[in-house]
């Protein structure tokens, strides 16, 4: 394979989480949308150093490929513990969230109380419904009202010089997602649920209708694509407790413990086309490097 910069699935392993008493999946509903047959996004483990990352991605204009990496931080389980359905409803139920239409150019915005969103609007995607008629909660977060949550988030440790991070947090039903679009570089992380990603390089505009949902695109367009025209794809999952990191290159020995928090982060490079599809009801956060 040519030595092109790719999207990256980062995997970082660390620190044992607190007591894992939360309900499986955080109390959010699992879905039935399938994963890809094979993840084609390049993967890096904890041995990818910041200097190597910078060497490859430090100039956003040269960042040409998304990647996925596992990472870990001690406070991540704390953020996750706050993101169960029960905890979020108890803490933020009355606060408004701003919903956008789930199409490429999301024109319409609607404010509803978080509790109303979770109890009445957060449903599996109707495959027959247009993205332009589907409301989606991602971004437009009020960091004052939701400060007690975001203060616990530990962003991916890698920075790109000359950029500053901005968070977008969201929760959406299985089968929902955002159709193909592009913007600057950043990281995506799933706290609960699973999120399938489809990515094309900036010079390879995918065939899609901006008002069609990613689910409809997957059902109707994706099967017609010859293998050479398929996107890079991978399903991003939340962190998990893993006892299996002993001997992993790059993990400091002093950090070894009986249980590790293995976390996955997807790096999407500058201007890459991407579409997302939540396989389960998912809680997710992106760090945009603007
Ligand atoms: C965020 O919430 C604060 C406190 O309720 C409010 O004063 C402010 O107007 C909100 N900001 C936006 C952009 O809605
Ligand atoms: C997408 O939907 C919006 C809102 O219904 C509409 O205004 C727009 O013309 C549609 N775009 C296309 C390309 O069909």
Residues 78, 137: Cα–Cα separation, whole Å: 22
Which range (44-48, 199-203, 239-243) has the least confidence? Answer: 239-243
Higher pLDDT, 12 or 108: 108
Residue 241 has pLDDT above 70, yes or no: no
Per-residue confidence band for 242, with pLDDT thresholds at 50, 70 and 90: low
- Hey, whose CA ends up nearest to atom 4 of ligand 2? 132
Percent of the chain with pLDDT over 70: 74
Question: What ranges do the domains of the chain cover?
Answer: 8-289
pLDDT in tens, 12-56: 554 444 434 467 789 999 999 999 998 898 877 666 677 777 776
Ligand 2 pocket, Cβ-based, cut-off 6 angstroms: 132, 210-211
Q: Is 142 in the pocket of ligand 1 (CB under 6 A)?
A: yes
What pLDDT sits at residue 25?
87
Contact 3, 63 (CB under 8 A): no
Q: Is 189 exposed, middle or buried (0-12, 13-18, 19+ CB in 10 A)?
A: buried
Q: What is the pTM of this model?
A: 0.85
Q: Is 164 in the pocket of ligand 1 (CB under 6 A)?
A: no
Q: Ligand 1 centroid to 275 CA: how many Å?
A: 30
Residues 150, 143: Cα–Cα separation, whole Å: 7
Residue 247 has pLDDT above 70, yes or no: no
What pLDDT sits at residue 239?
72
Ligand showing the shortest atom-to-Cα distance for residue 98: 1
Ligand showing the shortest atom-to-Cα distance for residue 107: 2
Ligand showing the shortest atom-to-Cα distance for residue 94: 1
Higher pLDDT, 47 or 175: 175
- Choose the residue to mutate in 94, 95, 99, 144 for probing ligand 1, maximizing ligand atoms within 8 Å of C-beta: 144
Q: Ligand 2 centroid to 131 CA: how many Å?
A: 10
Rank 1-5, 69-73, 128-132, 218-222 by mean pLDDT and report only the highest.
Answer: 218-222
- Hey, whose CA ends up nearest to atom 2 of ligand 2? 132
Q: Is 140 in the pocket of ligand 1 (CB under 6 A)?
A: no
What pLDDT sits at residue 63?
40
Residue 60 has pLDDT above 90, yes or no: no
Which range (16-20, 51-55, 135-139, 150-154) has the least confidence? Answer: 16-20
Higher pLDDT, 215 or 53: 215
Answer whether CATH 3.50.50.60 is correct for domain 8-289: no
- Hey, whose CA ends up nearest to atom 8 of ligand 2? 211
What pLDDT sits at residue 195?
96
Which range (134-143, 156-165, 250-259) has the least confidence? Answer: 250-259
Higher pLDDT, 212 or 23: 212
Residue 153 has pLDDT above 70, yes or no: yes
- Hey, whose CA ends up nearest to atom 13 of ligand 1? 142
Q: What is the mean pLDDT of the chain?
A: 81
Q: Ligand 1 centroid to 144 CA: how many Å?
A: 7
What pLDDT sits at residue 19?
39
């Amino acid at each position: 394979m040519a030595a092109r910069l790719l999207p990256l699935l980062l995997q970082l392993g660390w620190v044992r989480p607190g007591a894992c008493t939360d309900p499986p999946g955080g109390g959010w509903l699992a879905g039935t949308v399938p994963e890809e047959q094979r993840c084609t996004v390049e993967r890096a483990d904890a041995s990818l150093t910041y200097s190597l990352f910078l060497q490859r991605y430090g100039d956003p204009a040269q960042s040409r490929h998304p990647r996925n990496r596992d990472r870990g931080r001690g406070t991540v389980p704390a953020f996750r513990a706050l993101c169960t359905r029960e905890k979020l409803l108890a803490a933020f139920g009355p606060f408004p969230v701003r919903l956008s239409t789930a199409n490429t150019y999301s024109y319409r915005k609607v404010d509803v109380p978080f509790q109303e969103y979770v109890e009445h609007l957060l449903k599996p995607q109707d495959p027959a419904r247009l993205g332009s008629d589907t409301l989606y909660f991602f971004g437009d977060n009020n960091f004052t009202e939701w400060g007690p949550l975001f203060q616990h988030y530990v962003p991916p440790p890698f920075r790109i010089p000359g950029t500053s991070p901005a968070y977008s947090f969201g929760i959406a039903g299985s089968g929902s997602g955002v159709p193909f679009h592009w913007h600057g570089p950043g990281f995506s992380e799933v706290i609960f649920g699973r999120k399938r990603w489809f990515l094309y390089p900036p010079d390879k505009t995918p065939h899609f209708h901006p008002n069609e949902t990613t689910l409809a695109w997957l059902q109707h367009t994706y099967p017609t694509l010859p293998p050479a025209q398929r996107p890079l794809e991978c399903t991003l999952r939340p962190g998990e407790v893993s006892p299996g990191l002993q001997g992993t290159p790059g993990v400091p020995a002093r950090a070894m413990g009986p249980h590790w928090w293995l976390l996955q982060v997807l790096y999407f490079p500058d201007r890459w086309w991407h579409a997302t599809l939540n396989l389960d009801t998912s809680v997710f956060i992106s760090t945009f490097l603007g």
